[in-house]
Amino acid sequence: MNSIFSKITFVVLLALLVLASSNFKVLGILQDDAEPKNMQGMTERHNYWRAELGLPPLKWSNKLAKVAQNWANKLKEKGCELEHSTTKFGENIYWSKGKKRSPQEAVDAWASEKKDFNFEKLECNKEWYVCGHYIQLIWENTKMVGCGVAYCKDGSEVWVCNYEPAGNVVGQKPYKKK
């Protein structure tokens, strides 16, 4: 009798767990975060460059986007001069003036540093800063990205993306050769 009661209890608890998890999905609790309208295509463009190397895709993070947007707003308050934040996250910053840029154009600006990356040694051809943005894009262990943009009084704009886990770790290569 005890064993039948235990099996019934287990089945009922399992059914409740399945029902609860499906309700959480409906409520958006277990769903992946979604890019806001002004960032549409940002994750896809990051993943375009990662796919060239067979690297796993990134997912959008609202948490990282909030951090990035807060920093972009802070840079706007400081006159849109570029400066990295001091968070634990990886970070790419892009400044532009004269034309409103798309999320894809911001990512492509970072990816343009690919020309300075040595694919044999998996490092920059010169100093790290000539291709550090590109390295963050292709850092294999990075799983999440979130971005923000601020529009400045002088017509310029500042784009910030944060990455978790951070890339550009001293002493490590961006990915393992396949």
**What pLDDT was estimated at residue 89?**
98
Can you tell me whether residue 158 is helix, strand or coil? Answer: strand
Residues of 7-45 as b/e, b for ≥16 C-beta within 10 angstroms?
eeeeeeeeeeeeeeeeeeeeeeeeeebebeeebeebbeb
| Predicted TM-score (pTM) of this structure | 0.81
**What pLDDT was estimated at residue 22?**
40
Burial status of residue 146 (CB atoms within 10 A of its CB: 0-12, 13-18, 19 or more): buried
Per-residue pLDDT for the chain (178 aa), expressed as one digit of tens each? 555 644 554 444 434 333 444 444 344 455 689 999 999 999 999 999 999 999 999 999 999 999 999 999 999 999 988 999 999 999 999 999 988 999 999 999 999 999 999 999 999 998 888 999 999 999 999 999 999 999 999 999 999 999 999 999 999 999 998 7
**What pLDDT was estimated at residue 39?**
97
**Per the structure block, which two tokens stand in for 75?**
């840079």
